[in-house]
Amino acid sequence: MISKQPQLSDFISTSSSLPELSISPPLLNSANPWATTEEDLVALYKCPYTGAVTVRTSLFQAFSQNASTHQYTFFSSSLGHATTKINVDGGEGRGEIVPGETSSLNTLGYSPIAFERYILMLVRLSRTPEFHSMTKQRDGKLKPFIVSVTGSAEEVGRCCEHLLEVLNEPEKSYPVATEFQSPSSGSGEGLDLMIEINLSCPNIPDKPPPAYDGASLSEYITAVGEAKARVPKTYSRGLHVGVKTPPYTYQGQFQILIDALERSSGLEDGCPISFISATNTLGSCLVLDEKNDAALGSVNRSGIGGLAGDALHFIALGNVKTIWGLLDASKYEDVRKIKIIGIGGVRDAAGYKRMMKVGASAVGVGTALGREGVAVFEKIARG
């Protein structure tokens, strides 16, 4: 069972106005297609073995999804090819689940649900008796929602400002917030929100992941810092911000990340980043079917997409260990305090323990959630 392990509650805030992050147990879902709908999010929130719920990455405008070009499949690395057909009857093409096929490839983009629709969904949910009943089962402790977003640096900054407003003045943007008030919900207290800036999706044509470029990374981090500085000083609740990184493959790429974080220490309130989600899927990967044709459809018809699951696990471990070492060695205190959510190929207690051993403070699960549902978290927790 998970016990006495480092937790996200060990995070120290990078801002004096922020309390320490508290996510317990240190196990959660990553931003993925199995965290898209309200039904998905409620199931993840209800699960007693998750310490937070990550919402699938969204944009200000809903992503235009097509089942013929946005797909995923599971496969076995040892077999070497995909074995199932893609079901295109839904909003996205979905591969069947076959025992032993624990790696995945996807040509997906972002959520078909827009950012503000997600926030409205969460605000409504937080003001329902069902939500407060779920919270009571956690001894009254709120389980955070990590809202994963992407877009331009300006749009990401607007997302941060919006979430700070929702945390402090939810009725200003969402009058629905007053429909149900719990005794503790004076101003957004019935909802705990964080934000993850996804700078690493490999599947968007002509839009390379910003996390590979130092100038782009700095632009986003600066936009976050400036957004935090713009909100009213009367706000009592702050916002923890994370960055989701791609799988880096050589030292110079890791240094680009650390340099951008250290440069942000010079902002008015210091580095605005509290955590790093490492890693996203590995791009430029191809899985073929039994006829040696591309197993997936894609926008550019190549079938090339992002690799995850078992096949990603070892590069994810290397990324977590390397990033942790560089953070720990930084001369900037606010950078040293940044923690890591380790993501990539974790499907059992052994994988969870490996992630924690190399420097993760919490562990995110993606492909295994898609294969096994929320029951995977109990399996991991109980060992």
Residue with tokens 């992002």: 306
**What span, in angstroms and rounded, lies between the C-alpha atoms of 191 and 33?**
23
pLDDT of residue 132: 84
User: Tell me, what amino acid is at 148?
Assistant: S
1 assigned to some structural domain? no
**What's the one-letter identity of residue 26?**
P
3 found inside a domain: no
Element containing residue 333 per DSSP (H, E): helix 333-336
- Is residue 370 domain-resident? yes
In the structure encoding, which two tokens stand for residue 297, read together?
A: 């459809």
pTM value is 0.92
> Which residues are within 8 A (CB) of 136 and not within 5 positions of it... i.e. 6 or more apart?
none
Q: Could you say which DSSP state residue 17 is in?
A: T
In a domain, 339, yes or no: yes
pLDDT computed for residue 23 by the predictor: 79
User: What is the reported pLDDT for 17?
Assistant: 59
Number of domains in the chain: 1
As a whole number of angstroms, the longest Cα–Cα distance in the chain is: 63
DSSP secondary structure letter of residue 291: T
pLDDT digits (tens), the chain, 383 positions: 554 344 443 333 334 458 777 779 999 999 999 999 999 999 999 999 999 999 999 999 999 999 999 999 999 999 999 999 999 998 999 999 999 999 999 999 999 999 999 999 999 999 888 888 888 788 878 899 999 999 999 999 999 999 999 999 988 888 765 544 443 444 445 899 999 999 999 988 888 899 999 999 999 999 999 999 999 999 999 999 999 999 999 999 999 999 999 999 999 999 999 999 999 999 999 999 999 999 999 999 999 999 999 999 999 999 999 999 999 999 999 999 999 999 999 999 999 999 999 999 999 999 999 999 999 999 999 98
| Cross-strand partners of 365 | 29
What does each C-alpha distance from 136 to 15, 186, 242, 375 come to in angstroms?
29, 17, 27, 21
- Does the residue 281 lie in any domain? yes
User: Does a structural domain hold residue 155?
Assistant: yes
Residues 6+ apart with CB under 8 A from 371: 74, 97, 101, 102, 347
Report the C-alpha gap between 330 and 182 in whole angstroms.
Answer: 43
Amino acid identity for residue 188 in this structure: G
The CA distance from 72 to 298, in Å, is 10
How much is the pLDDT for 206?
A: 80
- Residue 261: count of CB within 10 angstroms of its CB: 25
Q: Which residues lie below 8 Å from residue 318, measured CB to CB, with a gap of 6+? A: none
How far is Cα 121 from Cα 273, in angstroms, rounded to an integer? Answer: 26
* Residue 46 near residue 29, CB atoms below 8 Å: no
Neighbours of 183 (CB within 10 A): 8
**Does a structural domain hold residue 38?**
yes
User: Do the Cβ atoms of 211 and 199 come closer than 8 Å?
Assistant: yes
- Rounded to an integer, what distance in angstroms lies between the CA atom of residue 54 and that of residue 380? 18
Report the distance separating Cα 20 and Cα 11, nearest Å: 6
- pLDDT score at 189: 58
> Mind giving me the DSSP string for 77-126?
TTT-S--SPEE-SSSSEEEPP-TT--EEEE---S-SS-HHHHHHHHHHHH
- 3 CB burial (10 A radius; 0-12, 13-18, 19+): exposed
Q: What is the CATH number of the domain that holds 347?
A: 3.20.20.70
Domain that holds residue 157: 8-382
Return d(Cα 64, Cα 316) in angstroms, integer: 29
Residue with tokens 């079938």: 303
Q: Where are the beta strands (DSSP E) in the chain?
A: 27-29, 53-58, 71-75, 86-87, 93-95, 103-106, 145-149, 193-198, 241-245, 275-278, 282-285, 305-309, 339-343, 362-365
